[in-house]
Structure formats: structure tokens, C-alpha cells
Amino acid sequence: MLSKLPVFMARFLPQRPALPGTPPAALEEQLGGQGHPAFRVGQILDWVYRKRVRRFEDMTNLPRGLREWLEANYTLEPAREALVKRSSDVTEKLLLEMEDRALVETVLIRYPQRGVGAEESRKTICVSSQVGCAYGCRFCASGLAGWKRDLTAGEIVGQFLHVCYIEDARALTDNQGSPGRRASSDDPVPFDNVVFMGMGEPLANYEAVVAAIRCLNAPWGLGFGARRITLSTSGLVPQIRRLADEGLQIRLAVSLHGATNPVRDAIMPINRKYPLEELIPAIEDFSGKNGRLVTLEYILIEDVNDFLEQAHALAGIAARLRAHVNLIPYNSVEGLTWKRPNIKRQQTFARVLREARVSHTIRKEKGHDIDAACGQLRLRTEKDRAVAAG
Ligand code: SAH
Ligand code: SF4
């Protein structure tokens, strides 16, 4: 509804906090203040995370007064759909609009499994943590438009739920059930992996991201295994060290993209603040405490970081960290002149890692034709909005 209001009106609407992501203790306190018994909290959480209804009025075992109070004080859908783009392969890119009209991207990627139908394919969702990004990496569309604001925990959880709504509706259509309602409270979450690789730097929005991960993981929330959650960071050293002490069993991916300081400095301004000699020990600390192997992400950009000298340095870092390396052929970004190296150059680079016995993959692309790289769909839509507004 909000998206249909003129821009100037939407700006003045009071923004309600999101119910998704609110910890049960906080909810219990607020409901207690309204004279409602504590067991209502469990009922509400069941509607939000298990049955996954999209309107308070559908929470039929709650008294009408409570449903009305919830409606007046919370939003159930902090992230509403503004646009969906399907690519010719198996990726769906959602552009979600927050209550203040901020736009963020959430991507659903299906990895088909040999010999099974589309519904059994493995599904990964890629979520955003901020509107834009302040870190200005030279290859990245999110960095180009700058940072607008952090997302709240509810807005991050809203992205997980939105993908659930889409997949739930699809499953119901397939089973010819009634639309908008799940068949059973015991149905699992309809995706297999979550990656924080959308717009923004998750560790720069630390509290909200950790709260959203706890809600995703908690039995009272979506009950999703921490081991299937990956957080990707450009390398904020103090926050990596703090995350190591959170006791979360999540995986860490680090966007390296340069294996020596001069090359990394030229691509990622963050490296001047936290150079490799600080970053590498912090990653070591994380994997030592958390017991999980770390992934190093490395975008291959022609004549910028795809030299063999970089491949050897990368092999050395990965061997020290016992890390897996994910080589990502660069996705061209509107307004940037860099290119991806041809297949032969990619393979020559990868051969150095193979010869050093470093575990690695070259990422097979999903959704290139729908601007799958971080921030690109939003950037284009913001530009279209600006043109439309004159
Ligand atoms: N801020 C975090 C998470 C978001 S960006 C981080 O930097 O890790 C996550 C990833 O998006 C980057 O590491 C990179 O792997 C990918 N990415 C961004 N721009 C890209 C581009 N132009 N081509 C290919 N991958 C890109
Ligand atoms: Fe921000 Fe990550 Fe993009 Fe760098 S790569 S600008 S940290 S979103």
C-alpha cells in the first residue's frame, strides 16, 4: 500500500517497528503491559515464523483486541516487494521496499540437483544488510551510490520471510492448497543456505546483523542451522574479532580481491585502515575460535588483480589460513570500465592454486543477466526513480 502513495506522503507516515526480529522477551514485556498473558507470545511467534501469515487479522487464535493492537503498533512485513526479476537461469532477484521507501536487494538462487525436480533444487538466499555501502570498493555497484542507512534486524529478517512467502505460495500452488496459508506448522524453512553478500557491509551494522542471525537460528524464530549461514565481510578487523567471541557457528567469508597490500589498496579502500598483516591474524583468530574453515573471495579483474604474482601470494595466504578460495569472474558494472579476464586467464590463475594444493572453485555464474552482482539492480532502479521524478 505504501508504495502506491505519493513520495511526499509516504515520508510523513509514522514508521512502525517490525514484529519479525523482535526478541520474545521484549514482546512479552510489551504484551504484559497491555494485560495479555505470556502464552500469547508463543502463539504470535508461531504465526510469524511457522505458519507465516502476512496479516495480523489472520492470526485467528488471538483475541480481536490484540490483533488490532498489533496492527497499530507493528508492521508484519517490513520488506515489501517492489520488483522481481527472473533471469533465464535459476536466479530470482527481488527488490524490496522498506517502510521509508528505501530499496534493498535480496536474491534467491536455485542450484538444480541432478535427477530431481525444480522444487528439490538447493536454494540459497543472498540478503542485504545496509541501504548502500560506505566502503567504496572500486568494483562494486553498492559502493558507487554511497551509504544511506543501516537496516534494522526486522528489515533483515523481513528479507528471509519474504523469500519464505514466495516459496510457500509456490509450494501451495503445486499442492493445490489454499493460497496464503501453509499446510503445516512443521514445514521446514524453504531454503538451504543464507549468505550475507547483498548490499552493504554486514559487520558495519553489527548489532542488527547478529540479532537477525539469532532470530534466523533460534527455535523461537525460523530454526535455521547456523552452519548454513555465511557472513561475507570486506575485512573489518575489530568486528571479525568480536564475532569470533559470539559463539555463533556461522561461516565467515572474507572479500580479499587483492593478495598484496598495494593491489588490495587500489581496489578496496578499507585495506588502508586494516591492511593484510592485521586482517590475516584476525581471520586466523576467527577460525581458531569458531572451528570453521573460512572462505576467501577473490574477484578476477583483468590487468588489475589477475597477475600470476597475485595468484602465488593468494595461494600463500590461503595455505596459512587453510581457507577455501572462491574465484569470481568480475561482473561488469554500469559506469565502471573494468573487464573480466577470459576463461584461459582465469584457468591459468586457478592452476597456481591447484599446484599449491589450495582448495578452490571458480564461481559459476548465476543471474548475470539480471544484474546479480551486489547493488546493481537497486542502482538502476534509483536512477529510474530519479528520472521519473524529473
Ligand atoms: N560487504 C560485504 C558483503 C557484500 S559484497 C563484502 O564486501 O564482503 C559481497 C560480494 O559481492 C563481494 O565480495 C563480491 O564477491 C561480490 N561482488 C560485488 N561486486 C561484484 C562485481 N562487480 N562482480 C562480481 N562480484 C561482485
Ligand atoms: Fe561495500 Fe562489500 Fe561492495 Fe565493498 S564489496 S562496497 S564492502 S558491499
Residue pLDDT, tens place only, 313-358: 999 999 999 999 999 999 888 778 899 999 999 999 999 999 999 9
Amino acid 368: pLDDT: 46
pLDDT at residue 84 is higher than 90: no
Q: Are residues 279 and 156 in the same domain?
A: yes
What's the rounded Cα separation, in Å, for the pair 44 and 171? Answer: 23
Total domain count for the chain?
A: 2
Q: Are residues 263 and 160 in the same domain?
A: yes
The CATH number linked to 56 is 1.10.150.530
Q: Are residues 64 and 110 in the same domain?
A: no
> Residue 365 CA: which ligand is closest?
1
The C-alpha cell 503491559 sits at: 33
Distances (CA, A) of 101 to 7, 54, 105, 192, 349: 8, 19, 13, 29, 43
Q: Are residues 269 and 156 in the same domain?
A: yes
Q: Are residues 85 and 69 in the same domain?
A: no
Q: Are residues 45 and 87 in the same domain?
A: no
pLDDT at residue 88 is higher than 70: no
How many Å lie between the centroid of ligand 2 and the Cα of residue 234? 6
The CATH number linked to 295 is 3.20.20.70
Q: Are residues 122 and 191 in the same domain?
A: yes
Helix (H) or strand (E) run with residue 11 in it:
helix 7-12
Q: Give me the phi and psi of 11, to 5 degrees please.
A: -60, -30
pLDDT-above-90 percentage for the chain? 69
The mean pLDDT of 108-122, rounded to a whole number, is 69
Looking at the domain assignment, is residue 10 inside a domain?
no
For residue 137, give the ligand 1 atom closest to its CA. 7
Instruction: Give the three-state DSSP class for 75.
Output: strand
For 159, the domain range is 80-389
Question: Where is the domain boundary, 31, 48, 73?
Answer: 73
Measured at the CA of 346, the angle between CA 340 and CA 349, to 5 degrees, comes to 125
What's the rounded Cα separation, in Å, for the pair 245 and 285? Answer: 10
More confident residue, 317 or 169: 317
Looking at the domain assignment, is residue 195 inside a domain?
yes
For residue 201, give the ligand 1 atom closest to its CA. 1
What's the rounded Cα separation, in Å, for the pair 19 and 150? Answer: 18
Amino acid 174: pLDDT: 66
**C-beta of 331 in contact with ligand 1 (< 6 A):** yes
pLDDT at residue 157 is higher than 70: yes
Instruction: Please state which of the ranges 74-88, 225-239, 243-257 shows the lowest mean pLDDT.
Output: 74-88
Give the contacts of 188 (CB within 8 A, at least 6 positions apart).
none
**What is the per-residue pLDDT across 178-226, written as a single tens digit (0 to 9) for each?**
444 444 445 579 899 999 999 999 999 999 999 999 999 999 999 999 9
Question: Where is the domain boundary, 37, 58, 73?
Answer: 73
**C-beta of 139 in contact with ligand 1 (< 6 A):** yes
pLDDT bracket for residue 115 (50, 70, 90): low
**What is the per-residue pLDDT across 246-286, written as a single tens digit (0 to 9) for each?**
999 999 999 999 999 999 999 999 999 999 999 999 999 99
pLDDT bracket for residue 367 (50, 70, 90): very low
Q: Are residues 54 and 111 in the same domain?
A: no
Q: Which of 92, 97, 105, 297 is catalytic?
A: 105
Q: Are residues 128 and 32 in the same domain?
A: no
Looking at the domain assignment, is residue 152 inside a domain?
yes
Looking at the domain assignment, is residue 235 inside a domain?
yes
Q: Are residues 104 and 62 in the same domain?
A: no
pLDDT at residue 90 is higher than 80: no
More confident residue, 45 or 91: 45
Amino acid 365: pLDDT: 61
Say which DSSP state 306 is in.
Answer: -
> Residue 144 CA: which ligand is closest?
2
Residue 22: closest CA among 192, 179, 194, 152: 152
Q: Are residues 86 and 69 in the same domain?
A: no
Looking at the domain assignment, is residue 239 inside a domain?
yes
374 assigned to active site: yes
Amino acid 188: pLDDT: 78
Amino acid 161: pLDDT: 96
Question: Where is the domain boundary, 58, 73, 88?
Answer: 73
Q: Are residues 92 and 163 in the same domain?
A: yes
**C-beta of 330 in contact with ligand 1 (< 6 A):** yes
What's the rounded Cα separation, in Å, for the pair 298 and 127? Answer: 20
- Summary mean pLDDT of the chain: 87
Helix (H) or strand (E) run with residue 126 in it:
strand 122-126
Q: Strand 295-300 to strand 324-329: parallel, antiparallel, or no bridges (unpaired)?
A: parallel
Amino acid 384: pLDDT: 55
pLDDT bracket for residue 243 (50, 70, 90): very high
Residue 231: closest CA among 257, 212, 218: 212
Looking at the domain assignment, is residue 290 inside a domain?
yes
Question: Grid coordinates in use for 114?
Answer: 541432478
The C-alpha cell 553478500 sits at: 197
What's the rounded Cα separation, in Å, for the pair 109 and 107? Answer: 6
pLDDT at residue 234 is higher than 80: yes
Instruction: Please state which of the ranges 97-101, 151-155, 358-362, 367-371 shows the lowest mean pLDDT.
Output: 367-371
Say which DSSP state 223 is in.
Answer: -
Looking at the domain assignment, is residue 223 inside a domain?
yes
The mean pLDDT of 10-39, rounded to a whole number, is 87
Looking at the domain assignment, is residue 302 inside a domain?
yes
